[in-house]
Amino acid sequence: MRQPISIIILGALSGFLFLFSLLAWMSYDRSEKTTALLSDIGQTALPNMHNAMILNMGILEIPYLNEQLAQANSQAMRRIVNQEILNVSARIEQHLLDSKQANLEVKFQLIVDELANLNALVQHKLNLAVIIQQYETELYRYHAEALSLANGSSDLSIWLMHFSSVVTQANRSLGLTGLQDLRNMRVQLSAMLNEQYQLIEGLDPSVHKLAETYTLTLNHLLLADNGVIALRTEQLRVAGRVAGRTNFIRSLVSDFIKETDYEMLVLQQSLRGHITLNTQDAEKDARVFLLVYSVAFCFIIVSIVFLKVRVLNRLAHLKNRVLAQVGGQPHVIQIDGNDEIADLAGAFNYYALKAKEHNEKVEKLSLTDALTGIGNRRAFDEALKHDIELSVALDSPLCILMIDVDYFKNYNDFYGHQAGDECLRKIAKVLQYTVTRKQDFVARYGGEEFICILQDTDSKAAQQVAQRILQAIEALHIEHKTSKIAKHITVSIGISCRGSGGALKVDSVIKEADQALYQAKAEGRNRVVLRETSMGLALVNPANP
């Protein structure tokens, strides 16, 4: 049953009114002050803190969406992310408008404008990518046409070989990521085309016109103001502007969050000040009561004890617990009773819980690989330390799978970094679907390397899991023309296992897994090699024996 403090105090004072009218009036004044304080807290402080918390929750979505927009690899993805940004921005703007925070409205509008500029840059970058792809297709078609027309002509053989080398070099320029490298490539292509013109001068008049036409067209495709090299240069410049704009928005959001946090701190300090003043006023009133009404000493003592136990001590306790929470002590505030002070304690507990959830979310993001969505190197280090301690404590086996994508550098060079990133994401999904136990762990170790921790798993079971991984990745049929062992993406897997009763250290288990992976690659790749640390053995299990 709810027992409001104001009603209890007024009830006690009504009995005292028959004996001491002045004391009743002073007591009533005291109760009114206390009620006013609690009302102010309930109607002003708590709503303001609640509004600040909602604003923080909304603004924390902006950095993630900012990164997603900058990394969009298609117009469809860009439009989806931009629409989500618009939705989140609309909610935040409406909240700022309702709470009448004009200074924050101006700063958030700057963030919105910068996001719009970033969206325009990303759109321009993606448009350039489409145009460059069209030019690349046209270049390949034109090269094939030249080969077909010149086939069988001995007079054109030397010219044709040089023509093909120019096309090949032009193709390499599309993979360059530095502006200086691209400028050097332009100079190199210009020199090669000049050599092409010199070769034309020595050709038979019957083929001279044909060779000259193809060379002029190739020169236009590559070196014109709207040619491949110029478009690629513009694309790199826009990409740099996208990165700079992304960092600037991240800085703006960080400043915005700091200001909202500061305003929340001011609210907390104001609330603590009101509680402190109320406590001081109540203690002063208690002393005045003792001086004025010595006759009612016993009754006044009882009244003061009641006030201190029911109100003052609880408020002081609440203040101390709030200060402890602000200082970082993760304690739940326990206030007995069913009244306004208990409600206030519950509100502080709710805010502390939400703050903890936000911190856990940030911690989770710091342990997640941004590209693949699985654990990163830091998450793996923490998980491995924990699992080794658990394995030793329970005397249970533990296996580590170190996985490396075969000839991935060749794949990146041939298909491009975007295709490489997509390939890594697909492999990460395969690992998640294959290693499904709750106690197991999957992470990206670095570059094209992944790693799995199999808790309570012996070497035989670990080999079975590794085989399933090999088969699942092979089933993806990701084309890999530059692989030296297959026409699709494959992986090599090194396993290190600690059997029951074996000693185990973090460095040794990773070293064993790495040596097993090295052996798998040395023996032809696309296979599994097992090393058991407690026995010092190495067993090879190829994917296709």
Catalytically annotated residues:
448
DSSP state of 338: S
Residue carrying structure tokens 């009603």 = 7
Residue 541, CA distances (Å) to 72, 404, 407 in order? 40, 15, 19
List b or e across 184-198, with b for residues whose CB sees 16 or more CB atoms inside 10 angstroms: ebbeebeebbeebee
CA distance 508 to 452: 16
DSSP state of 435: S
Full DSSP string of 365-385: HHTB-TTTSSB-HHHHHHHHH
Based on its alpha-carbon atoms, the radius of gyration of the chain, rounded to whole angstroms, reads 36
Residue carrying structure tokens 């969505």 = 373
Full DSSP string of 397-431: -EEEEEEEETTHHHHHHHH-HHHHHHHHHHHHHHH
CA distance 158 to 388: 65
The torsion defined by the Cα of 237, 242, 247 and 252, in degrees rounded to 10, comes to 130
Tokens of 116: 């719009």
CA distance 503 to 230: 60
